Structure 1
Amino acid sequence: MAFPVTDHTVKTARHTTCYLACGPEAGPLLILCHGWPELSLSWRHQLPTFASLGFRCVAPDMRSYGRSSTYARHQDFAQEEIVQDMLELLAALGRDRAVWIGHDSGSIVVWNLAAHHPDKTVGVANLTIPYIAQGFTLDNLVPLVDRRTYPEAEYPVGQWDYILFYQESFDRACAWFDANTRDVVKVVFRKGKPNGAGKPAPSASVLKVSGWFSGAPCPDLPRDSDIISEQDLETYTSALIRNGFFGATSWYVNYDADNAAYAARAVNDGKLSMPVLFLHAAYDYDCETITSRFAEPMRRDCSNLTEVVVKSGHWMAQEKPAEVNAALVRWLVQKLPDYWPSQPKGRN
């Protein structure tokens, strides 16, 4: 049975979250959290697929994105605030728990939900960003850098140099993104390339060269039709122009002090016992997890972990939706069989 994708809004005293939903309202709940600089639209290949299997699928526009609320202070984009948005969404849906699925910075939100609110978490599945119980901070990321690719003398913080640029030159970073948003979207949403393995990612030199493309205007590249359609491009662009990049970039400003303190308050020292699925992107060189030590803390602190490698770049759910969906289905069947939708009577 085909289900429509519908628009909804949850308003509370502290925040407004807009979201897409698909599937039977009574179905087991999947909540899918996007990353930078995306939208609920990023899960367009997952929503109808899992709805057709009997799940209720919900994809919110995260804080500062799309039609959800955005704010004027950096501290309003701390992880604790964003996690609270998701808890309010869960309550508004009339549910106690969900399977949470995340990508990019949305993965960090999902990891924090699992660590701080395991009672709200049936299981978690994350794409591209592995778990670090001590917090997703530069202090915790830099020791995991692959020094064969990023010699310390040349790349002191490895591929995470761009985070330092955002933190040290925030206004310049936002102004560059806002100056030509459509071209930024076209540059960002591109498929992975196998020949990038072992080479330093562009993100490793952003601070060093004073910005993306050395601070020159964003180039006007052709749209990568394997990732986004012309309609998708216009939707992403218009949403980012409407809100600007202040909120989206402010997520990075909170990675150190605020989010480290939040991680320290996790339940059970941040160790996760629920079923966890992690999807590695084989051709994602900013968030490289195959040859580096980036995934080691996750393996230590997740006791029921399944790992799958997808031959894609960073935008895995959009570049390789069939592979991502298949991995999610296998994991749900194998690790959460009791959460699988009940078959209607009379159906074999």
Structure 2
Amino acid sequence: MISTTITENVTKSARHTNFHLSAGPEDGPLIIFVHGWPELSLSWRHQLPVMAGLGFHAVAPDMRGYGRSSIYKRHEDYAQREVVADMIELLDALGREKAVWVGHDWGSPTVWNIASHHPDRCHAIANLCVPYHTLERGLDACLPLIDRTLYPEAEFPAGQWEYVRFYEENFAKACAVFDAHPYNTAKALFRKGKDGHRDKPALTAHVRNQGGWYGGATEAPDIPRDGDVVSEKDLKTYAAFLKRNGFFGPDSYYMNNRANAEYADEALNDGYLDMPTLFLLAEYDYTCECVRSSLTDPMKRLCRNLTSRNIACGHWMAQEKPAEVNAALTHWLVTSVPDVWPG
């Protein structure tokens, strides 16, 4: 019987320390899960044991700036060039040439960049919520894809991405609001999606014109925990590490738009991806809105072996709808990446 116990691990190089969770046989096909803002390896707690039970060696690192991986003090230390290098070092430390990579939120740009810059290190890739050729190329790449019927340029120059401009213009204030009460911040963020809001501007579109997150408040509101997304135990774990490390690192991922665009321009194969690729679209994610907007158009053009699946959920897909995510991943692996199926 295959063990699905999740273990804690650390790998180190001269430039970076990667903490990661792992489960499943060490000689099984490798699948690496890459989290986003403001999460942890813990965000893949529902995926690791399932993939392990199938015979995969499932790994989820804390990304730089998070949890027990290295923390840095400059914005530029959180540019995608550095984050991708961390993941290639992790792959090397695990003694593997290739992996199946799965990303979410800021983990998606990282996985897209691994695929476009290091295709030889990928069996296949899957991403949740954030499509290719968008955020990993910097904010300017997202602007032409905005639905201007919903976001008139005069009112929302950066559309649903106005909050990114707020980071650029008021970074210290953005961090201070999150840092004021990390437990309430995490509790307010990790919430399930709701249908019926696709015809309204996303909450993130108002951050800039309201003078900050939560309507310009000095800290996150104290609202009930959403048990459909996160347990009290897991919420406390998120909050503890966010309190210990602070939001400077996580928020700095948004501060490298120009550098990330320059890095993306170094993609191989003119940016085309030939490996099996899965995109899981969150129907109730109104920031990464992919139902009525053109946000997925570049991905559809540039990914030559693309499978897309819609899931009726919000942004925190892997935590809100783990059964659906696991089923979609498993079906795709069986049908599109049979060569890496365990056994």
Q: TM tier, shorter chain?
A: over 0.9
C-alpha contact 1:137 1:259 (8 A) present in aligned 2:
yes
Corresponding residue number in structure 2 for 1:345? none
| 1:250 corresponds to 2:258 | no
Shift of 1:214: 2.5
For residues 105-151 of structure 1, what are the alpha-carbon distances to aligned partners after superposition, in whole Å with 9 as ceiling and x for unaligned? 00000000000000001100000000007943221101101112112
> 1:219-230 to 2 correspondence within 5 Å?
219-230=221-232
For residues 12-57 of structure 1, what are the alpha-carbon distances to aligned partners after superposition, in whole Å with 9 as ceiling and x for unaligned? 1000010000000000000000000000000000000010000000
C-alpha contact 1:178 1:245 (8 A) present in aligned 2:
yes
Give the aligned residue type for 2:230: I
| 1:32 corresponds to 2:33 | yes
SS in 2 for 1:252: helix
Give the aligned residue type for 1:228: V
Corresponding residue number in structure 2 for 1:97? 98
Corresponding residue number in structure 1 for 2:233? 231
SS in 1 for 2:8: strand
In structure 2, what is the Cα distance between the partners aligned to 1:68 and 1:123?
25
In structure 2, what is the Cα distance between the partners aligned to 1:307 and 1:265?
26
In structure 2, what is the Cα distance between the partners aligned to 1:287 and 1:317?
15
Aligned residues: 341
Corresponding residue number in structure 2 for 1:209? 210
Corresponding residue number in structure 1 for 2:21? 20
> 1:176-215 to 2 correspondence within 5 Å?
176-215=177-216
In structure 2, what is the Cα distance between the partners aligned to 1:266 and 1:291?
28
Corresponding residue number in structure 1 for 2:335? 334
In structure 2, what is the Cα distance between the partners aligned to 1:108 and 1:57?
20
- Greater alpha carbon shift after TM alignment, 225-234 vs 147-156: 147-156
Q: Which runs of 4+ in 1 moved over 3 A?
A: none
* TM-score for the superposition, normalised by structure 1: 0.97
Corresponding residue number in structure 1 for 2:268? 267
In structure 1, what is the Cα distance between the partners aligned to 2:41 and 2:173?
27
SS in 2 for 1:194: coil
- The alignment yields a C-alpha RMSD, in angstroms, of 1.0
Corresponding residue number in structure 2 for 1:241? 243
| 1:74 corresponds to 2:75 | yes
Corresponding residue number in structure 1 for 2:151? 150
C-alpha contact 2:150 2:200 (8 A) present in aligned 1:
yes
In structure 1, what is the Cα distance between the partners aligned to 2:266 and 2:137?
14
Shift of 1:195: 1.9
Corresponding residue number in structure 2 for 1:346? none
Which runs of 5 or more residues in structure 1 are unaligned? 343-348
Q: Name the CA shift for 1:141/1:134 in 2 (closer, same or farther; >3 Å).
A: closer
In structure 1, what is the Cα distance between the partners aligned to 2:158 and 2:180?
28
- Greater alpha carbon shift after TM alignment, 129-138 vs 180-189: 129-138
In structure 1, what is the Cα distance between the partners aligned to 2:185 and 2:10?
28
- Greater alpha carbon shift after TM alignment, 144-153 vs 94-103: 144-153
Corresponding residue number in structure 2 for 1:60? 61
Corresponding residue number in structure 2 for 1:132? 133
In structure 1, what is the Cα distance between the partners aligned to 2:58 and 2:85?
19
SS in 1 for 2:334: helix
Give the aligned residue type for 1:248: P
SS in 2 for 1:236: helix
Q: Name the CA shift for 1:70/1:322 in 2 (closer, same or farther; >3 Å).
A: same
In structure 2, what is the Cα distance between the partners aligned to 1:139 and 1:52?
42
In structure 1, what is the Cα distance between the partners aligned to 2:8 and 2:81?
25
| 1:302 corresponds to 2:307 | no
Shift of 1:294: 0.3
- Greater alpha carbon shift after TM alignment, 138-147 vs 25-34: 138-147
In structure 1, what is the Cα distance between the partners aligned to 2:20 and 2:220?
30
Shift of 1:336: 0.6
* TM-score for the superposition, normalised by structure 2: 0.98
Shift of 1:183: 0.6
Which runs of 5 or more residues in structure 2 are unaligned? none
For residues 299-345 of structure 1, what are the alpha-carbon distances to aligned partners after superposition, in whole Å with 9 as ceiling and x for unaligned? 01000000000000000000000000010011101111111000xxx
**Identical aligned pairs, as a percentage?**
58
C-alpha contact 1:30 1:99 (8 A) present in aligned 2:
yes
In structure 1, what is the Cα distance between the partners aligned to 2:150 and 2:299?
22
C-alpha contact 1:194 1:283 (8 A) present in aligned 2:
yes
Give the aligned residue type for 1:36: W
C-alpha contact 2:134 2:295 (8 A) present in aligned 1:
no
